[in-house]
Amino acid sequence: MAKTETSNLEQNVAARSQELADIGRRIEVARKQEAETRESLANLTKEAAARSSQISDAEAGIQRAQASYAEVQKQLADARAQLEEVTQNRTAAEQQLKILQQQVDDTQKASAAAAATRDQMRADLQQTQQRQTELQQQLAKVTDDVAARNKDLTALETQRQSARQEILETQAKLQSLQQELTNRSGALREAPNAAGVSSAAPQAPGPDVKSDSSETPK
């Protein structure tokens, strides 16, 4: 029965050890996923910073374009005033007006393109921020998972130590029973020898007994 109990405990320890190994591997995978998630989060943070910088540059370009547009509008107004005042140079003024009008058109197109670029960058930034939020949630989940796995690992380690202690106690009991069995076996082997010696010893003084009995009447 002690051997069976010891075998069962050893099997339980082996099963617990296998579970610990499996949990260790899962924790390693979770830690790797956590590291990858952190790296992705860092990359997205850098990308968000770059997008923000690009948006700032685009907004600065828009401001410059708007300032240029205002300047061109002012020049256009001046040109029109000159056109009205200087009729003799009408052809040259009209040519200058066309040039300025083209500049106005080009500036408007550049402003519209810059605005479209800014809107696209804002949309990209929103997507990046959303992805960053998702990765942060994933990181929190992985962190909780790692904490739970560590807790399970600690509990299994405690159970394994308890099982080892039970095995040691069982082995000690088994050794004690084996020693007791050995002692009893020795005692049983010595008992017949002792009985034979005790039965043979009283026959030796037979003649002396008779002489004592013969001397008694005297």
- Range 173-188 average pLDDT: 84
Answer whether residue 211 is part of any domain: no
Report the distance separating Cα 47 and Cα 42, nearest Å.
9
Q: Number of folded domains in the chain?
A: 1
User: Could you tell me the pLDDT band of residue 83, with boundaries at 50, 70 and 90?
Assistant: low
Q: Which helix (H) or strand (E) holds 24?
A: helix 2-85
- Range 181-197 average pLDDT: 70
User: Could you tell me the pLDDT band of residue 63, with boundaries at 50, 70 and 90?
Assistant: confident
User: Could you tell me the pLDDT band of residue 207, with boundaries at 50, 70 and 90?
Assistant: very low
Residue 154 has pLDDT above 60, yes or no: yes
Comparing CA positions, the residue from 115, 145, 197, 117 lying closest to residue 34 is 145
Answer whether residue 148 is part of any domain: yes
Report the distance separating Cα 146 and Cα 34, nearest Å.
9
Comparing CA positions, the residue from 48, 44, 49, 99 lying closest to residue 75 is 99
Report the distance separating Cα 196 and Cα 188, nearest Å.
13
Residue 215 has pLDDT above 70, yes or no: no
Answer whether residue 147 is part of any domain: yes
* Structural domain that includes position 71: 2-184
Answer whether residue 198 is part of any domain: no
Question: Chain-wide mean pLDDT for the chain?
Answer: 78
Report the distance separating Cα 65 and Cα 49, nearest Å.
24
**What is the percent of the chain with per-residue pLDDT over 70, rounded to a whole number?**
83
User: Could you tell me the pLDDT band of residue 205, with boundaries at 50, 70 and 90?
Assistant: very low
pLDDT tens for each residue of 119-149:
888 888 888 888 888 878 887 887 787 788 8
Answer whether residue 65 is part of any domain: yes
- Range 63-69 average pLDDT: 82
Distances, alpha carbon 48 to alpha carbons 24, 53, 88, 128, 190, in Å: 36, 9, 58, 6, 93
Answer whether residue 217 is part of any domain: no
Distances, alpha carbon 47 to alpha carbons 61, 82, 139, 205, in Å: 21, 51, 18, 116
Can you give the CATH number for the domain in which 145 is found? 1.10.287.950
Residue 117 has pLDDT above 80, yes or no: yes
Answer whether residue 57 is part of any domain: yes
Report the distance separating Cα 38 and Cα 29, nearest Å.
14
User: Could you tell me the pLDDT band of residue 195, with boundaries at 50, 70 and 90?
Assistant: low
Q: Which helix (H) or strand (E) holds 163?
A: helix 90-200
Answer whether residue 218 is part of any domain: no
